């Protein structure tokens, strides 16, 4: 699987963004963060490329 299609769990999303899990879920609820893909009732994953884009957008926004 290449990087574009890589799926990551919330533990990895938290490491990449340095956000707490509760903050990630709050941002998802407020539509301020990419929504996860639900694989089962207990498993949610994110596309790594979407998280990297979100991080990049935050860096561009904070630099203004």
Predicted TM-score (pTM) of this structure: 0.85
What is the pLDDT at residue 60? 77
Please write the tens of the pLDDT for every residue from 1-40: 555 689 999 999 999 999 999 999 999 999 999 999 999 9
Average pLDDT of the residues in 51-63: 86
Ordered by start, the domain boundaries in the chain are 3-62
Q: How confident is the model at residue 61 (pLDDT cuts 50, 70, 90)?
A: confident
Question: Is domain 3-62 annotated with CATH 1.10.1660?
Answer: yes
What is the pLDDT at residue 2? 58
Q: What angle do CA 63, 13, 7 make, to 5 degrees?
A: 120
**DSSP conformational letter for 19:** -
Cα–Cα distance measured from residue 64 to residue 56, given in angstroms and rounded to the nearest whole number = 13
């Amino acid at each position: 699987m290449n990087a574009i299609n890589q799926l990551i769990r919330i533990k990895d999303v938290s490491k990449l963004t340095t956000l707490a899990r509760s903050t990630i879920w709050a941002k998802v609820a407020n539509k301020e963060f990419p929504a996860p893909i639900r694989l089962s009732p207990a498993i949610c994953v994110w596309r790594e490329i979407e998280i990297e884009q979100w991080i990049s957008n935050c860096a561009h926004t904070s630099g203004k």
